[in-house]
């Protein structure tokens, strides 16, 4: 069994709440799952459209209402941070592009309504990366503590610099130069995405909705940690719902996926949105993606895997095979992002570091970092 009853009910809360008849105990479970996954604001949006919000148990209505207040405060904070980052990073040569959750909010797209997130993702050109980091350091955006290996990983193998946290506000910024690590061999020509840029009312630049959709699904199906997989799949569902009658959207989405080599990932996104959310993907669009399907045996395996790891990440939604599926998905994500010899080295280092911290404690690891910094000074 790939889904528990609670997982099915929680998914229907976001796609077809009017079909549910939940008991008081069911609502208790829904609130716990929603809080853990950060999806309570989206439950509010879904219930508001169906006029069911006022019929909720009092405690459920209280939790959901509080979550939407928090989501609105986050969106306001994002707009403030983006204005600050634009002042720092914009110059005559380049203006940064804001990605994922921040982009949804800035574009005032329905996907951004109630969307919660932990950082602000920014895209700059590769040759501007070092200059952007230097400027942010001046304005007290400091890197998180990382050992020498992690620094090398980010700067040589990944598509970003180490995350930067503002010294007083605690906001985290992830500065990228591509949407996938170059070492994966799948990093696209980012100019295909840059050609879709649009400017929001606030003056910030984001990708167009088709490009935002493609970026979201590429990020999801190259992921190794699916703790936010359900939320990310719901992002795609909302994109598909919003643009279901927009022929230009579907045309541009397929064109960009073809140009950048992500038609297989687009096939997966449509398939699992349809299976889990019954998303309104046009039949002609689905037919156009049939040629990008894996072989029947591989497709059966992918269904087994993704129909488990794309469930809400909460113990109440787990089945007997969930842990195994998440472990396999973790390995799959690493394999997609790294050649085998680098992956073995990377996992060996992480295992060694975990053993050191487990045996000697994090203070030992902290002392080692401080000692390295002293030696370098």
Mean pLDDT of 220-227: 96
Mean pLDDT of 276-298: 96
pLDDT by residue (tens digit) across 38-74? 999 999 999 987 777 778 899 999 999 999 999 999 9
Q: Which burial class, exposed, middle or buried, applies to 226 when counting CB atoms under 10 A from its CB (0-12, 13-18, 19+)?
A: buried
Single out the residue of 211, 245, 247 nearest to residue 104, CA to CA: 211
Whether the per-residue pLDDT at 363 is higher than 90: the answer is no
pLDDT of 3 reads 75
CA 7 to CA 307: how far, in whole Å?
A: 11
pLDDT of 83 reads 96
Whether the per-residue pLDDT at 278 is higher than 90: the answer is yes
CA 211 to CA 193: how far, in whole Å?
A: 6
How many Cβ atoms sit within 10 Å of the Cβ of residue 170?
7
DSSP state of 98: E
CA 81 to CA 306: how far, in whole Å?
A: 35
**Token pair for residue 121?**
């993702």
CA 2 to CA 249: how far, in whole Å?
A: 32
pLDDT by residue (tens digit) across 235-266? 999 999 999 999 999 999 999 999 999 999 99
pLDDT by residue (tens digit) across 195-216? 999 999 999 999 999 999 999 9
Give the domain ranges of the chain.
5-338
pLDDT of 149 reads 64
Mean pLDDT of 154-158: 70
Dihedral Cα 148, 150, 153, 155, nearest 10 deg: -70
Single out the residue of 248, 254, 280, 251 nearest to residue 267, CA to CA: 254
Strand order in the sheet with 97-99: 141-143, 164-166, 172-176, 120-123, 97-99, 205-206, 198-199
CB-based burial, 69-79: b 16+ in 10 Å, e otherwise: eebeebbeebb
């Amino acid at each position: 069994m790939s889904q528990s009853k609670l997982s099915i009910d929680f998914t229907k809360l976001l796609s077809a709440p009017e079909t549910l008849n939940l008991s008081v105990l069911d609502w208790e479970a829904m609130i716990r799952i929603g809080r853990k996954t950060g999806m309570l604001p989206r439950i509010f949006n879904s219930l508001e459209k169906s006029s069911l919000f006022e019929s909720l148990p009092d405690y459920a209505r209280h939790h959901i209402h509080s979550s939407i207040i928090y989501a609105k405060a986050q969106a306001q904070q994002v707009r403030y941070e983006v204005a600050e980052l634009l002042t720092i990073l914009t110059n005559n040569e380049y203006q940064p592009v804001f990605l994922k959750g921040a982009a949804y909010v800035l574009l005032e797209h329905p996907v951004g309504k109630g969307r919660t997130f932990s950082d602000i993702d920014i895209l700059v050109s590769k040759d501007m990366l070092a200059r952007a980091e230097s400027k942010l350091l001046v304005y007290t955006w400091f890197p998180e503590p990382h050992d020498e290996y992690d620094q090398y990983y980010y700067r040589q193998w990944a598509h970003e610099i180490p995350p930067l946290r503002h010294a007083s506000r605690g906001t985290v910024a992830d500065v990228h130069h591509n949407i996938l690590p170059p070492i994966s061999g799948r990093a696209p020509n980012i100019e295909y995405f840059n050609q879709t840029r649009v400017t929001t009312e606030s003056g910030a630049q984001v990708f167009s909705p088709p490009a935002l959709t493609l970026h979201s699904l590429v990020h999801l199906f190259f992921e190794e940690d699916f703790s936010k997989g359900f939320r990310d799949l719901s992002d795609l569902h909302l994109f598909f719902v919003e643009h279901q009658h927009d022929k230009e959207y579907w045309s541009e989405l397929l064109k960009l996926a073809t140009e950048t080599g992500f038609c297989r990932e687009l096939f997966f996104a449509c398939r699992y949105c349809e299976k889990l959310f019954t998303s309104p993907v046009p039949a002609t669009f689905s037919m156009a993606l049939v040629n990008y399907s894996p072989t029947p045996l591989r497709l059966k395996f992918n269904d087994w895997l993704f129909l488990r790891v794309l469930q809400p990440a909460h113990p109440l939604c787990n089945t007997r095979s969930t842990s195994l599926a998440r472990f396999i998905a973790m390995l799959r994500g690493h394999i997609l992002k790294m050649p085998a010899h680098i992956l073995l080295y990377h996992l060996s280092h992480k295992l060694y570091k975990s053993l050191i911290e487990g045996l000697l404690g994090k203070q030992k690891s902290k002392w080692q970092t401080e000692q390295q910094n002293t030696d370098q000074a």
